[in-house]
Structure 1
Amino acid sequence: MLLETLSNASGVSGYEGDIRSIIKEVIEKYVDDIIIDKMGNVIAHKKGNGTKVIIDAHMDEVGFIITGYNEDGTLRFYPLGKINSKVPPAKVVFIGENKITGVIGIKPIHLQSKEEKGRSMSYSEYCIDIGSNSKDETKEVVRLGDYAVFDTKFGDFGRGLVKGKAFDDRIGCCILAEILKEDFQCDIYGVFNVQEEVGERGAYISSFTVKPDIGIVLEGTVCADMPNIPKYKRGTEIGNGPAISIMDESSLFSSQIFADIIKVANEKSIPYQLRRSVTGGNDGGAIHMSGEGAKVATISVPCRYIHSSVSVASLEDYQNTCKLVIEYIRTLG
């Protein structure tokens, strides 16, 4: 399964090379040409007529970058993308291309002061322990600027669910790869962007290059269907189908496209839900503001525990998102 391969691979912002290689190999026989631009975005073109459409997913995941050495051989680090500082302690990570194993260390609870126990720790109070005895020993195997990712492995989880890391947005990349296998009348650019988690940087470049009429963003989005969260605060819920966004912090999505997508879902009996949260943002903000602008929409797969060491998603939601996007694009001439 492509999602398993991509979830287990490493590709934090700025270090998407492994993901790019996997995706290029999967899609190249289904598209007319592929461009890898200077930023590292993959722009795959399926030639058609009329409406020019970008279908977008980002390759990068949240993770960490190594910023310094401590005298005892442990490492200082900083997040790449938004990871709540409560998430990292005691997690196992892989560092760099050689996948050096590390454990994110924190002062034990029984040694913390009353003040420390009452607040969230900061990244400056953590370290990554690789089992080294000295700074010099660590320098032999880890370089400043190396990335680190959680070591979570993909797997089945309950009935019809899967768990793994980086579903934001490897799940979108998988949907886009499936879409590119289909034939359409309109002019399709499947764009796998870099550096979304640090400010949609890749999308600004690729969308300026393509200059689309429409941009469809595929995402793994926040899901909060947990027992301690009231229903009205649950932005999306697993099992209720793809989530269609109205707006977020970076975009006010096209009401016309929004209505057309819902019409297709109803006509094809594809379950869907409205994303009831406006927090966060994605590549849509870059796409609709680049060049002369474009109409944009976002369709997402709900993912529990997003931007942490593990996410959970429904395979049925994934499949229905594929169906909905394919059927909508077929309406575009």
Structure 2
Amino acid sequence: MSSHCNTTQIDSMGNLICYKKGNKGYKNSIMLAAHMDEVGFIISGITNEGYLRFKTVGGIDIRVITAKSVVVGPQKIPGVIGVIPPHLDEKENNATPKTGDLFIDIGAKDAEQAKKYINIGDYAGFDSKFMEFGSCLVKAKALDNRVGCYILTELANYIYAHDVYFSFTVQEEVGCRGAATAAYNVLPSVALVVETTTCSDVIGTEKEDYSTRLNQGAAISLLDRTSYSDKGIVKALVTTAKNNNIKYQYKQTTLGGNDAGTIHLTENGIRTGVISVPCRYIHSPSSVASKNDIEGCRDIIYNLLRSEESEEWSF
């Protein structure tokens, strides 16, 4: 980012804030925010047998993590998530395991050996590989929100009329904490959060219950549990998509939240919107997104920023 921006800084929370000066000298600015952190696990204990106890960091569906590969700590020690064997009871066999039933097996023979490599408080993350499949899909861990970070790095290649702050935030998955300090640092006139969001267009879900659908374009949020999107920004995103023949959709559900929840409450309030890339199996070892939706999201933001040539925002 340093080669495309005027300044870069890492604040005390760990946010990376990259400033790109506009070419018109306008006072109004925009903050584009994408969080860098991902869901994972924190090591909370080591058993006498050398297994690692853990707590989840962020919203993880326990049903999908057993027998999955992980890496643990700064040395990226490989491990596998195991589960205490169920009793021979049909009800228990069908029950979703609790976090307390799970552990990470790193192949240690006992606690003494495990402690040579692992400390309490070490972070663990999914160990899965990026893959392209189908006609335009990608599979990887942490697409939430590496996709948003990728889009920001792409947008930094261009020059805009207004000053742009590319803010790569931290701790979104545990309460949108980094975005609060980043927004206070920047104090932009408007902000746009670039995210991924739940996509439920799979079997077993009624169409009217779909949050978003793959290959139907970037999802524009109206409201969620933590914020109500600025109507002017929503209208500008939709108008830009229509004018440039770029697919878009509205996010249909109002659950969840993202960095907009803290950004819009900063100081006297910041006009904030959210645009997201639909993502199947979000917060899992193998989340899935469409390259078409990723590119469409990038293009909507690019065209919106490039079309704003006057000092005052048109929206």
Partner amino acid for 2:3? K
Gaps spanning 5+ residues in structure 1: where? 1-26
Q: Which of 19, 23, 37 is equivalent to 1:45?
A: 19
Q: Which of 47, 70, 75 is equivalent to 1:70?
A: 47
Match of 2:62 in 1: 85
Q: Following the alignment from structure 1 to structure 2, what is the Cα–Cα distance between the partners of residues 190 and 119?
A: 44
User: What is the deviation of 1:113?
Assistant: 3.3
Q: Following the alignment from structure 2 to structure 1, what is the Cα–Cα distance between the partners of residues 94 and 38?
A: 30
Q: Following the alignment from structure 2 to structure 1, what is the Cα–Cα distance between the partners of residues 91 and 293?
A: 43
Mapping of 1:221-232 within 5 angstroms? Answer: 221-232=197-208
User: What is the deviation of 1:56?
Assistant: 0.3
Alignment length (residue pairs): 306
Q: Following the alignment from structure 2 to structure 1, what is the Cα–Cα distance between the partners of residues 194 and 88?
A: 43
Partner amino acid for 2:33? D
- 3-state SS in 2 of match to 1:86: helix
Q: Following the alignment from structure 2 to structure 1, what is the Cα–Cα distance between the partners of residues 201 and 28?
A: 37
Gaps spanning 5+ residues in structure 2: where? 311-315
User: What is the deviation of 1:89?
Assistant: 1.1
Q: Which of 24, 34, 38 is equivalent to 1:61?
A: 38
Partner amino acid for 1:243? A
Greater helix share, structure number? 1
Are positions 1:328 and 2:298 aligned together? no
Match of 2:157 in 1: 181
Mapping of 1:225-244 within 5 angstroms? Answer: 225-244=201-220
Q: Following the alignment from structure 2 to structure 1, what is the Cα–Cα distance between the partners of residues 213 and 47?
A: 43
User: What is the deviation of 1:118?
Assistant: 4.2
Are positions 1:314 and 2:314 aligned together? no
- 3-state SS in 2 of match to 1:330: helix
Greater Cα shift, 80-89 or 313-322? 80-89
Spell out, residue by residue over 1:251-305, the C-alpha distance to the aligned partner (whole angstroms, 9 max, x if none): 1001111111111111111111111011110000111001111111111111100
Q: Which of 192, 203, 211 is equivalent to 2:179?
A: 203
- 3-state SS in 1 of match to 2:71: strand
User: What is the deviation of 1:133?
Assistant: 1.1
Partner amino acid for 1:85? I
Alignment RMSD:
1.1
User: What is the deviation of 1:87?
Assistant: 2.2
Q: Following the alignment from structure 1 to structure 2, what is the Cα–Cα distance between the partners of residues 116 and 127?
A: 18
Are positions 1:289 and 2:253 aligned together? no
Are positions 1:141 and 2:81 aligned together? no
Q: Following the alignment from structure 1 to structure 2, what is the Cα–Cα distance between the partners of residues 276 and 224?
A: 11
Partner amino acid for 2:306? R
Match of 2:4 in 1: 30
Q: Following the alignment from structure 1 to structure 2, what is the Cα–Cα distance between the partners of residues 320 and 104?
A: 36
Q: TM-score, normalised by structure 1?
A: 0.90
Q: Following the alignment from structure 2 to structure 1, what is the Cα–Cα distance between the partners of residues 236 and 195?
A: 19
Q: Following the alignment from structure 1 to structure 2, what is the Cα–Cα distance between the partners of residues 327 and 229?
A: 34
User: What is the deviation of 1:187?
Assistant: 1.4
Q: Following the alignment from structure 1 to structure 2, what is the Cα–Cα distance between the partners of residues 186 and 139?
A: 52
User: What is the deviation of 1:46?
Assistant: 0.8
Q: TM-score, normalised by structure 2?
A: 0.95
Partner amino acid for 1:70? T
Q: Following the alignment from structure 1 to structure 2, what is the Cα–Cα distance between the partners of residues 282 and 112?
A: 42
Q: Following the alignment from structure 2 to structure 1, what is the Cα–Cα distance between the partners of residues 19 and 39?
A: 27
